[in-house]
Amino acid sequence: MNSIKIMVNGLPGNMAQLVIEKAMDDQRFEVTPFSLTGPEIEETSVQIKNKKIALIKPDQKDSFLSGHDTLMTSTIAVDYTHPSAVDLNCQWYCENNLHFVIGTTGGNRKRINENVQNSEICAVVAPNMGKQIVGFQAMIEYAAKTFPGLFDGYTIEIRESHQLGKADSSGTARSLVPLFQDLGLSVQEKDIFMERNPKIQHKQLGVPKSFLGGHAWHTYSLTSKDQNVSFQFTHNVNGRSIYALGTLDAVQFLHHKILEGNNAGQVYTMIDVLKGL
Amino acid sequence: MNSIKIMVNGLPGNMAQLVIEKAMDDQRFEVTPFSLTGPEIEETSVQIKNKKIALIKPDQKDSFLSGHDTLMTSTIAVDYTHPSAVDLNCQWYCENNLHFVIGTTGGNRKRINENVQNSEICAVVAPNMGKQIVGFQAMIEYAAKTFPGLFDGYTIEIRESHQLGKADSSGTARSLVPLFQDLGLSVQEKDIFMERNPKIQHKQLGVPKSFLGGHAWHTYSLTSKDQNVSFQFTHNVNGRSIYALGTLDAVQFLHHKILEGNNAGQVYTMIDVLKGL
């Protein structure tokens, strides 16, 4: 069994923890017992199932690496660290030849990409690791480019529901607005209807109680001028498992690319992952 | 105003009548006061709004044409005649240099295409004139080709509702089955759930009473293995206006192609119409 070694950074954060749990259930992967953490974290390790994972603070990174250089040459890093730490971590991966996957929206993307391009490694850098969501965005983008004005004369309503704490509107919904415009629909970012009331979310929309604190539900409703034709596209995500699973598929993709060789400086996107798996 | 002359064949049939109504409301078009009809039709004309349209029986076609040759050179035929008449009509269009649009499923498509290819005219030949439906099919096809296995591990449920008289399952739903298979979903044509009960259609689905006799509602529901992610795609069509409007857009497309010239023998599809308008 040729399992892929991954070092999941960002413990004790929720996403890092979830990626590790999914990886431990997946025989494609072997989780290394180390994780980069923040300077403010007091724990020195985190227990996940039967595995104890040591936390490495920023000032311990280099000494850690020199003690594990053989281990790390064949390891892929997964970065779910704090947005304030992302840039320095990615720079560190590049300097120390650690291929990596990063799937958050934090950090300076331009700088991260440049660091990879000037390095000996390759990486997957994506704002969203939800494979099927990214695929849906790509479908709409394809339609907008190939059939501009397809929905001329139609109206559109965009509704999304997220946990109470989320102040701005859905980034996924906003990314689709210009595409819907190209399809002939009159819509602006400000027209996105945001539901943040947990009572309405549960009783009217049907969001399960256990996911009121973490969900991303979206519905796009298109209606013809004479009201006789309606299209509706819905994608409802509860919790974060879709992103953890997508992250692991991105790791597998990167592993294949590394085995193929000749990938120094390559930055891959989630679309590459979708096409390549 | 440079309006496009169209001869809509198939009166007194519903689709021909609807296309004429929509065309009379649309300043892009001028409807010629003639329509090919079947040998069994007893009326000699049909009144639509303020326009009287003479019906031409099969054995009158040639003599009609010789009396209107100037008129017909710049006219585009739209064929919604009976499936048993479609082949002979299309052959007649080809022999008499009448560009045409045909948007039914009737006739021998291979022969129709060959007749056009060996003629001086060009035509739009499509099994479905609903532009947005065709666009949706193309979106799913794009995803299936570009991201095979995107929904690996998901389950799918396909439900459709049509008028009581429709015996077979939805052709649109069936056309998507192999594409959903390519996307990683386990589904067969026989799994398509058909609703044909008008009471359930109205009370449970919400099909308006006036459209129980003619509607095409479709819902594709995709659910992740852990039940935490769901995608749903719905397209609900009441009545036939979407097909009539798509037919007129196909006529406009063909008109543009004719003006561009150098199109002898070209058979266009609805995808061409979507891309070209």
**Closest residue of B to A134, CA-based?**
B150
A231·B234 Cβ contact <8 A: yes
DSSP H helical ranges for A25-80:
61-67, 69-73
The CA distance from A170 to the nearest CA of chain B, in Å, is 16
Q: Give the torsion sign (CA, A23, A25, A30, A34).
A: positive
Active site residue A256: no
Range of the domain at A153: 131-238
| Closest Cα in chain B, distance from residue A44 (Å) | 32
Question: What residue of A is the nearest CA neighbor of B133?
Answer: A231
Residues B102 and B191 in one domain: no
Residues B124 and B37 occupy one common structural domain: yes
| Nearest-angstrom CA–CA distance, A236 and B148 | 21
Q: Does residue B170 share a domain with residue B150? A: yes
**Do B229 and A132 lie within an 8 Å CB cutoff?**
yes
In CATH, what number is assigned to the domain containing residue B184? 3.30.360.10
A7's tokens: 């070092």
Count contacts between A and B (CB, < 8 Å).
Answer: 111
Q: Can you give the pLDDT at residue B182?
A: 97
Write the residue in A142, A150, A228 that is nearest to B274 by C-beta: A150
Distances in whole angstroms, Cα of residue B137 to Cα of each of B11, B39, B178, B186: 30, 37, 12, 18
Burial (Cβ within 10 Å: 0-12, 13-18, ≥19) of residue A131: buried
In this structure, are B225 and B153 located in the same domain?
Answer: yes
Residues B11 and B113 in one domain: yes
A89 and A211 together in one domain: no
Calpha distance A5→A254 (Å, rounded)? 12
- The total of other beta-carbon atoms located within 10 Å of residue B238's CB is 21
| Residues in Cβ contact with B148 at an 8 Å cutoff, skipping those fewer than 6 apart | B182, B183, B184
Q: In angstroms, rounded to a whole number, what is the distance separating the alpha carbons of residues A274 and A22? A: 19
- CB-side neighbour CA atoms (13 Å) of A169: 17
- What are the angstrom distances between the C-alpha of A216 and each of A30, A80, A271, B241? 30, 19, 21, 35
- Catalytic one among A57, A61, A82, A166? A166
- Any bridge partners for residue A194, and if so which? A160
Judged by CB atoms closer than 8 Å, whether chains meet at B143 and A135 is answered as: yes
**Residue B274: helix, strand or coil by DSSP?**
helix
pLDDT of B277 > 90? The answer is no
Predicted confidence band of residue B2 (pLDDT cuts 50, 70, 90):
low
Tens of pLDDT along A75-116?
A: 999 999 998 899 999 999 999 999 999 987 788 999 999 999
Number of domains in chain B: 2
* Nearest by CB: A135 against B135, B150, B274: B150
Decide if the complex's ipTM is over 0.90: yes
> Is the domain of B36 the same as that of B103?
yes
Active site includes B68? no
B153 & B256 share domain: no
- Cis geometry, peptide bond prior to residue B12 (ω within 30 degrees of 0): yes
Catalytic residue among B22, B99, B131, B162: B162
Mark out the alpha helices in B68-207 (DSSP H runs): 69-73, 83-95, 109-117, 131-146, 171-182, 198-200
Q: Does A88 touch chain B (CB under 8 A)?
A: no
**Range with the poorest average pLDDT among A255-259, B99-103, B104-108:** B104-108
Q: Which residues of A touch B146 (CB under 8 A)?
A: 138, 142, 274-275
Can you give the CATH number for the domain in which A57 is found? 3.40.50.720
Residue A96 and residue A35 share a domain = yes
Query: Is-contact A116 A123, C-beta < 8 A?
Result: yes
Q: What is the pLDDT of residues B135-169, one digit of tens each?
A: 999 999 999 999 999 999 999 999 999 999 999 99
Same-domain pairing of B156 and B266: no
Burial of B199 (0-12, 13-18, 19+ CB in 10 A): exposed
Residues B77 and B43 occupy one common structural domain:
yes
Same domain, B139 and B122: no
